[in-house]
A and B are shown apart, each in its own frame.
Chain A
């Protein structure tokens, strides 16, 4: 802020200031003279007027001096400069209109969104541009797009492009937008007219370097900030499933970005459709946390928290992953009902998987005969145990289909298991073809012990704290042998082996389904497994591993709208598709071993393999920073630090001073005319 003079030399005319002073000092003596016989009265009048006149004289002197001074200053071209809020627009003839269409610009204010206002204002500006002015249009969310390939003098086309600007759910990538604007300007100076809400903690700071480049190139960024007054918004900033009572808890965090406290009603919808209402009081500019207890049984998938907030609906929903919760229904096919408990696999399995009836352990066992496999319902049972079943051939295709659709099959050996029949019925899904059982220890010997498991394997990860040593006490004297095979990660893996190197537990993955072979028995026929301490936790872990959270199953991926989502692909998957929240297929591509796609809206995305099995669930949400509709930084502020003169406003005071001088002259004349002694 300051006063500058265009022609300071004109101040030399200030010497004229002496004129009124000299004129004032040299009092005028009237030329007319009159004899006057009432001098006594005149003396009294003069005495009375002397004080008034003294004041008046000073006023006159000051008025005349200031009048001369004002005129002198007016001639010297005074300009008053003061810091303005933003750089002044107009004059360059090269304008790039940049419109922010990020999620926060969908904020409602006064019956319209900020984006609508920005669109209208920018169109009005383009419409008012002088003929011949070049204009370009850039819009930005997560990405910046040039709506005009270069600067154009066709204002109608630019207006048409601006009218087509639609809101996005993306973040505010101002940096990319300014880069595009700089490209449009092609290195020449110009004006970047930026319509944005400047909302979010990082938007401006991340773009500082690009602003600096523009300013260094002689351009100016003129922010036209469109904001609600005051900005208000309630958003679900996080929803995460975790341990807790019953089936666990979903922790929902809500944020109030407005200046008033608010009570907001929300609804948590679980993947199986169950809805749980919640109400939350959120303080001004504060957060609240709500915990929703998940039932003992719940389907896994992507859940949704939806809150009722009219200000910015785009961030009212948040999607979260929910693992399958509660009992995994296990179908045990009893191929050899024993006459005594020690000779019955079912006896041991029931006590291992559901020692208290199933509810607490999370496993519900349905026992059936091989004939019951004809009624196999993949939606009902996640894991099927074939325990010493002699001939799986009648239901081999059904089991194969069950596995291919994501089902899990556990085959345990026994005297009834016939390699040829199994190879014929399930050869396509077995980790390796079966061979005949083989005795690995003489009668009377303790048998071969199991080697300690690899704890990095998800199956045995829970044993990292304790229980690992218990595996070495598991012994077997007879084992089902397999054709030689090679471990292929993600396809065929030996999860557990005996110390003699023979496989104990082998897994093969087919899509989302898996087949696990236990080469021993789960009764006391071939070994001592059921009597060991690790039996119960290993069986429960096996079921959970296959059908529950710890297992492979569907991948769970989270992401932000407009970010590129990458999903690791299993081998041998040929046909992949991604279904969006609206049921439409989303364009995707495969690069190497990854599937890539870009979500454009929040929601649950399902990646399916071979049009059937769900390979992954992807929960996509908006950027929480976009929900924070408050402005943290100022583009103009950044510019002001880089080049303060950009923000300077100049006011020509010449006319004002001249008018003031004339006013003073007229005033002093009127005052002088009032005269006096």
Chain B
């Protein structure tokens, strides 16, 4: 039942993820959940109805003010990676990371990114899950966050067996993930976003309502977004089969405008729902992307 190629990809992904993870600066991940724990977090003025056990009597004795002590609790953070594997991700020529059969494509880059994130999160003891959008050949389309090496291997196998195909339909996938996401979760969406943003951006509202840590990795190929083609050509979409004859030289300026408008539109939608947006050109080394992903917006201007 195990395809040798798939297994080779699994190994590739595993090695790749491990190497990338090892090279990163490791940091302790702390839960943002506040509650009964051993490590003091901060004070909060007492309000009627609060648990009286949290009152700090020493502060009351010194200042005659009622304050409640709060503590940080170390806990598991369910992490889910939503990976878009629609047909259009098969394109691309500038990827910085190779991937068997999908060398230099957006899909190869996206799968490697997803595997690395899963591995990194797993190494930190977080339960990890995976949701695939479109694509073909996979054993499972959706696995909820769970701990354990076997689960991780299952996720890697799921990634390795997937090939980009079909039409992207982010909305149902995001709705499905959103519905099962608990409060205080981490959700990473890896997509090229090549469907009308107004169709899928509203689905991010579910993550916002659950205060999930949402991060959108917007994968794109620099050559495509800069329309770096020399001659008039017929451009066709492997996803929809749509063909358009275009003179790149003449359309470049307008294309640049459209790209900028599109980026603003997607980023605006993500930020509006409390998420963080990151443009990820495939010619960008994954180390940088991961470092930015780990450190957060304050440490990397790439995040919005």
Contacts and interface: CB of A to CB of B under 8 A. Distances in A.
Interface string A536-578: 0000000000000000000000000000000000000000000
A32 B233 contact: yes
Contacts of A45: 246, 251, 254-255, 258
Q: Classify the secondary structure of A's interface with B.
A: mixed
B86 to A, nearest CB: 9
Contacts of A39: 88, 194, 235-237, 239-240, 242, 244
A675 B251 contact: yes
Interface string B245-256: 111011100110
Given A38-B221, A44-B258, A677-B245, 19 more contacts: A27-B245, A29-B245, A34-B233, A34-B234, A35-B237, A36-B224, A37-B90, A37-B192, A37-B221, A39-B240, A41-B255, A41-B262, A42-B235, A43-B242, A45-B246, A45-B258, A46-B246, A49-B254, A676-B247
B120 interface: no
Nearest to B255: A45
B246 A677 contact: yes
A28 B232 CA distance: 10
Contacts of B106: 37
Nearest to B240: A39
19 contacts: A29-B245, A30-B231, A32-B231, A32-B233, A33-B236, A36-B91, A36-B235, A37-B91, A37-B92, A37-B237, A41-B225, A41-B258, A41-B259, A42-B235, A43-B242, A49-B250, A676-B251, A677-B245, A677-B247
B10 interface: no
CB-based closest 8 A-B pairs: A675-B250, A37-B91, A675-B247, A676-B250, A32-B233, A37-B88, A36-B235, A39-B237
Nearest to B86: A37
Contacts of A55: none
B238 interface: yes
Given A37-B89, A48-B258, A42 B244 contact: yes
B65 to A, nearest CB: 57
Nearest to B89: A37
B195 interface: yes
Given A36-B224, A43-B244, A30 B258 contact: no
Nearest to B251: A677
A33 B233 contact: yes
Q: A34, A37, A38, A48 — which one has the most chain B CB atoms within 10 A of its CB?
A: A37
A37 B244 CA distance: 12
Given A39-B242, A41-B255, A677-B251, A30 B232 contact: yes
Contact of B249 (A27, A29, A48, A675): A675
Interface of A: 27-30, 32-46, 48-49, 674-677
Nearest to B245: A30
A42 B90 CA distance: 17
Contact of B238 (A35, A43, A674): A35
A654 B234 CA distance: 42
B236 A36 contact: yes
Nearest to B193: A40
A35 B237 CA distance: 6
Nearest to B197: A40
Q: Classify the secondary structure of B's interface with A.
A: mixed
A48 to B, nearest CB: 6
Interface in B201-245: 220-221, 224-225, 229, 231-240, 242, 244-245
B250 A674 contact: yes
A39 B195 CA distance: 9
A288 B240 CA distance: 100
B28 interface: no
B196 interface: yes
Contacts of B238: 35, 37
Contacts of B261: 44
A30 B234 contact: yes
B169 to A, nearest CB: 14
A366 B142 CA distance: 161
Nearest to B243: A33
Q: B89, B195, B221, B255 — which one has the most chain A CB atoms within 10 A of its CB?
A: B255
Contacts of B232: 28, 30, 32, 675
Nearest to B234: A33
Contacts of A35: 90-91, 235-238
Nearest to B261: A44
Contacts of A677: 244-247, 250-251, 254
Contacts of A676: 247, 250-251, 254
A34 B88 CA distance: 12
Given A675-B249, A677-B250, A38 B233 contact: no
A675 B249 CA distance: 7
Nearest to A44: B258
Q: A44, A45, A675 — which one has the most chain B CB atoms within 10 A of its CB?
A: A45
Contacts of A41: 194, 225, 255, 258-259, 262
B8 to A, nearest CB: 25
Contacts of A37: 88-92, 106, 192, 194, 221, 224, 237-239
A484 B151 CA distance: 180
Contacts of A44: 258, 261-262
Nearest to A30: B232
Nearest to B249: A675
Contacts of A28: 232, 245
Contacts of A674: 250
B54 to A, nearest CB: 52
A111 B169 CA distance: 96
Contacts of B229: 32, 34
Nearest to B107: A37
Q: B195, B221, B225, B232 — which one has the most chain A CB atoms within 10 A of its CB?
A: B232
Given A29-B234, A675-B232, A676-B251, A38 B88 contact: yes
Given A34-B235, A37-B91, A46 B244 contact: yes
Given A38-B194, A39-B194, A30 B251 contact: no
Interface string B74-90: 00000000000000111
A43 B235 CA distance: 11
Contacts of A29: 234, 245
A385 to B, nearest CB: 124
B104 to A, nearest CB: 12
A44 B247 CA distance: 15
A303 to B, nearest CB: 94
A42 B195 contact: no
Nearest to A27: B245
A46 B245 CA distance: 9
Given A46-B246, A48-B258, A676-B251, A32 B195 contact: no
B246 A42 contact: yes
A227 to B, nearest CB: 62
A48 B89 CA distance: 25
Nearest to B192: A37
Contacts of B231: 30, 32
Contacts of B247: 30, 675-677
Contacts of A36: 91, 224, 235-237
A674 B253 CA distance: 11
